[in-house]
């Protein structure tokens, strides 16, 4: 009789992904750096962090959303970014993205947020140099 494999149960909490949101204020520019996976499991936490960071801003403030360290951007994560950008547009706060132009996150941002007319940069220094 063949050996029976033990049932394998994966702890769902072990599969939960994490995203880290870090903010750095530089005069009239707020740099928001995201890292990790921005997906359904992390979207709510990321959205609260992004709202907390951007709520106090008013024109002529600018927001640079640095996604270079985002490893995964799902549909839920894209919706979070759309809402944050929408609020910035409503309040006349300029926003842009920094992405690795060779990566999948750049492709997702380009395809899903192109109607927002948000500028994309390949490095933080270039994004900070715009006015």
What mean pLDDT, rounded, does the chain reach? 86
What distance in Å separates the CA atoms of residue 45 and residue 124, rounded to the nearest whole number? 24
pLDDT value for 27 = 77
If you average pLDDT over residues 109-127, what whole number do you get?
88
Q: Does the pLDDT value for residue 10 go beyond 70? A: no
Q: Does the pLDDT value for residue 94 go beyond 70? A: yes
Contacts of 80 (CB under 8 A, 6+ apart): 38, 43, 46, 47, 50
pLDDT tier, 101 (very low <50, low <70, confident <90, very high otherwise): very high
98: number of Cβ within 10 Å: 25
pLDDT tier, 66 (very low <50, low <70, confident <90, very high otherwise): very high
- Which CATH number applies to 20-128? 3.30.750.24
Q: Does the pLDDT value for residue 11 go beyond 80? A: no
pLDDT value for 113 = 83
Task: Please tell me the number of Cα atoms within 13 Å of 97 on its side-chain side.
Answer: 27
Contact 65, 49 (CB under 8 A): no
Does 100 or 116 have the greater pLDDT score?
Answer: 100
Spell out the domain ranges in the chain: 20-128
């Amino acid at each position: 009789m063949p050996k029976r494999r033990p049932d394998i149960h994966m702890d769902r909490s072990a599969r939960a992904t994490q995203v880290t949101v870090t903010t750095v204020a530089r005069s009239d520019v707020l740099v928001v750096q995201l890292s990790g996976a921005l997906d359904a499991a992390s979207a709510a936490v990321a959205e609260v962090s992004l709202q907390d960071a951007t709520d106090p801003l008013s024109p002529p403030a600018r927001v640079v959303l640095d996604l270079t360290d985002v490893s995964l951007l799902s549909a839920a994560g894209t919706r979070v970014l759309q809402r944050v950008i929408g609020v910035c547009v409503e309040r006349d706060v300029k926003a842009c993205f920094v992405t690795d132009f060779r990566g999948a996150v750049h492709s997702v941002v380009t395809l899903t947020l192109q109607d927002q007319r948000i500028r994309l940069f390949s490095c933080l220094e270039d994004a900070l140099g715009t006015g």
